[in-house]
Amino acid sequence: MSAVSPTRPLADAAAHAPRHDWSRREVEALFALPFPELLHRAAGVHRAHFDPAEVQVSTLLSVKTGGCPEDCAYCPQAQRYHTGVQATKLMSTEAVLEKARQAKAAGASRFCMGAAWRSPKDRDIPKVAAMIREVKALGLETCATLGMLSGGQAQALKAAGLDYYNHNIDTDPEFYGSIVRTREIQDRLDTLAHVRDAGMKTCCGGIVGMGESRRQRAGFLHTLATLPAHPDSVPINRLVQVEGTPLAEKNTAAGLDPFEFVRTIAVARILMPASMVRLSAGREEMSDELQALCFLAGANSIFYGEKLLTTGNPDTERDLALFARLGLRPMQVTVDADGHDHGGTVHADIAECARSRAA
């Protein structure tokens, strides 16, 4: 496959169909396009699959915070770092249900439960499964992010009614060992395979601004775009530097050009045209102008209100004001028996990525 030409015009709609055979060279060539050309291409792909004026609105809840044994250099929930995050026990089913009822009353159709575990123990699965069944009984879609899963655990969660599972790959495989030493990236890929094999949908992305190079950002997106199935949602996190974490001490996020973040969004949109590309952590520190560029580049999902696990998130009023200024509106969806999204009711996710605490 030849590299991307900066002067090649946008092809017809068939060219916007999802591909899984991207070469790393092609991905790097996309990053190297002139900024206006890259945004033009990404916007064209976005329009071929979505209404560019609609944004999926998501909200966040953590059902078990802190105390994680991993050493992720970005994460304030790692117990080895002194970040001020206090570990909590798993919430009771009734407490989770109360949050789910509130979410449904506010117009949510999907509820996701996130726990700060490296991986759940087998004895934890029945507790989470009970939450899933009870939330499902409210008429909500269910989502969870619990860390790494075995094949049997994934099957058990699916049997309980779980629809979506979030599990980020964090960064480029070449850079992974610089960020995490307590697991291998293959562990993440194995969990994603277990989730797909169980018949659940995936939410998978990562973090930029951790000191990686552009080539490594290309490698991160290339890994996602060449999975057997593209993630249904792709959260792109801009590192939030939390005091006490190794990356905060290195101040890596200061070196990330905002335009490079927009390029990452645009390339993600081109590589995974039918996926939701989500502006995840880091929005609190983004200007309205930077967020607007991200929407132009193909982002069509955000976290809305509430605190993003252990890092801040723009308040609801600011988001509503920005939507009004840009002429954007929350995405309207309904979900049929096969899990396909169609126009209808407000689609608001509750949670995302308990495994990317600082992002």
Q: 277: which strand partners?
A: 234
What is the three-class DSSP state of 186? helix
Question: Could you list the active site residues?
Answer: 68, 72, 75, 112, 143, 203, 278
What 258-262 contacts at long range (C-beta under 8 Å, 24+ apart), as own/partner pairs, is 258/286, 258/290, 259/35, 260/208, 260/214, 260/217, 261/208, 261/209, 261/236, 261/290, 261/294, 262/35, 262/39, 262/290, 262/293, 262/294, 262/297
Residue corresponding to tokens 């089913």: 93
What is the three-class DSSP state of 118? coil
Sequence letter at residue 155: Q
Contact 83, 310 (CB under 8 A): yes
- Say if residue 96 is exposed, middle or buried (CB neighbours under 10 Å; 0-12, 13-18, 19+): buried
- Say if residue 166 is exposed, middle or buried (CB neighbours under 10 Å; 0-12, 13-18, 19+): buried
Q: How far apart are CA 239 and CA 8, in angstroms?
A: 33
Residue corresponding to tokens 């290195």: 250
What count of Cα atoms within 13 Å lies in the side-chain half-sphere of residue 345?
15
260: nearest Cα among 224, 290, 301, 292: 290
Instruction: Provide the 10 A C-beta neighbour count for residue 2.
Output: 9
Beta strand pairing status for 332-335 and 341-346?
antiparallel
**Torsions phi, psi for 226 (to 5 deg):** -110, 15
